[in-house]
Amino acid sequence: MNAPMPTAHDELPSYPGERDDYVNPARALLIGPPVSPLRFVGGSTGWLVTGYREAREVLRDPRFSAERWRGDDTVRPVPEWVRENKSSGTGSFLFMDAPEHGRYRGLLMRYFTVRRMRELEGRIEAIVTERLDALEAAGKPADLVRHFALPIPSLVICGMLGVPYEERATFQSVAARLLRHDRSNEDFLAGRATLAAFIGALITAKRKEPQDDLISKLTAVAELTDAEIIGITALLLVAGHETTTNMLSLGTFALLRDPEQLRRLRADDSLVPGAVEELLRYLSIVNAFPVRIALEDVVVGGVTVKAGESVAVSIPAANRDAALVEDPGTLDVGRPRSGHLAFGYGIHQCLGQHLARTELAAAYRGLLGRFPGLRLAVAPEEVPMRGDMVIYGAHELPVTW
């Protein structure tokens, strides 16, 4: 039976993007029913999913579309050009349904397997060591984001794609603008144009002199156009450094605020892989919920979602659901691995999840080993958080040791 939709005179809840306590989701997400009414930014009425089981249902069900032009969004109105073209951009498979989504993903999966990540472990560990040296050389106090958390995934994804790291300012600054909650459509188009020109020049160079990198390999795929390669590369480049950067910095922040969990992790190095999974579950850095649009009437959690209605899935709330783990509001680095949704679920589950896990494990292990006295250099409430961004985390994390 459907939860009653509020009348025109009622206050319909809207997107609860702010966090209550630095690393904790808004309480409103955790105390409501698993499926509840929500006002989307475009003015439409849809649904918010906060339950773990219900979130999995929506994310895996092909009756829910990821194509943004079909519905509404939580952070900003869907641009008119997206609706008119019925596309979020050539190669942007994050917002595509099957079979188009599968065509692009199938070309990339071989480069992000567990086996491939194991082959990269040595290089990733070397990068971590280099950045630990740079952090120490920066002197106390130092910004963990600038000197450690941001460079590690940037260096790794640049190496995989074949992007010169010395040109990182281009894609890092564009990503910082594109991921702001309040960025305008004009900002997006300008940022996309900057990235397209940057990546297009790389494609031209690699067609002339192919190298052992992913962009070169994509240029060898006959059925891919340059526009498609640009879209794929832009997605991998932005997602490949922004997500892991913020997971690493926010995870460090959470551990520094929890001395007992930090002590356990330092005392037993074997806990690191499980601690990575627990931090992913506990923190859930996705700050703009994935949205799906019903292609037909679908019952989720006893609620009938009608065809055409938008559904926002709160990953932070789903990962704090007691249906997933006991005592979900507690950080426990020794917790058995859970089926958390930090990397999504279904056909859109994060392509780079194995890469992220490898980077995070190497970074946490190296950081805690090198700096046993690591601590915050400011009060927790003075750390500037990324409540204004699609990917949550810390803008800066001042630390000392």
pLDDT of residue 9: 33
44 burial level (CB within 10 Å; 0-12, 13-18, 19+): middle
Predicted TM-score (pTM) of the model is: 0.94
pLDDT of residue 5: 54
Q: In the structure, what pLDDT confidence band is assigned to residue 16 with cuts at 50, 70 and 90? A: confident
Calpha distance 142→302 (Å, rounded): 51
Distances (CA, A) of 135 to 62, 66, 131, 164: 46, 40, 6, 22
72 burial level (CB within 10 Å; 0-12, 13-18, 19+): buried
Q: In the structure, what pLDDT confidence band is assigned to residue 320 with cuts at 50, 70 and 90? A: very high
Residues 6+ apart with CB under 8 A from 290: 59, 66, 312, 313, 315, 344, 348
Query: Quick one: average pLDDT of 121-132?
Result: 98
Q: In the structure, what pLDDT confidence band is assigned to residue 264 with cuts at 50, 70 and 90? A: very high
Q: Per-residue b/e over 190-211, b at no fewer than 16 CB within 10 Å? A: ebbebbbebbeebbeebeeeee
pLDDT of residue 6: 46
CATH of 27-400, one of 1.10.287.3510, 1.10.3720.10, 1.10.630.10, 3.30.200.20: 1.10.630.10
pLDDT reading at 219 higher than 80:
yes
- pLDDT per residue as tens digits for the range 353-378: 999 999 999 999 999 999 999 999 99
pLDDT reading at 316 higher than 90:
yes
Average confidence score pLDDT of the chain:
94
pLDDT reading at 1 higher than 70:
no
**What DSSP string describes 356-401?**
HHHHHHHHHHHHHHH-TT-EESS-GGGS-B-TTBSB-SBS--EEE-
Query: Quick one: average pLDDT of 197-221?
Result: 97
pLDDT of residue 19: 87
Query: Quick one: average pLDDT of 26-47?
Result: 92
145 burial level (CB within 10 Å; 0-12, 13-18, 19+): buried
- pLDDT per residue as tens digits for the range 86-108: 998 899 999 999 999 999 999 99
Percent of the chain whose pLDDT exceeds 70: 97
- pLDDT per residue as tens digits for the range 25-34: 888 889 889 9
Contact between 10 and 45 under an 8 Å Cβ cutoff? The reply is no
Q: Per-residue b/e over 217-237, b at no fewer than 16 CB within 10 Å? A: bbbeeeebebebbbbbbbbbb
Query: Quick one: average pLDDT of 376-392?
Result: 95
- pLDDT per residue as tens digits for the range 222-251: 999 999 999 999 999 999 999 999 999 999
Calpha distance 60→344 (Å, rounded): 9
Query: Quick one: average pLDDT of 300-322?
Result: 97
pLDDT reading at 321 higher than 70:
yes
Calpha distance 257→28 (Å, rounded): 23
User: Domain boundaries in the chain?
Assistant: 27-400
Say which residue, 37 or 6, is predicted with more confidence. 37
- pLDDT per residue as tens digits for the range 145-201: 999 999 999 999 999 999 999 999 999 999 999 999 889 889 999 999 999 999 999
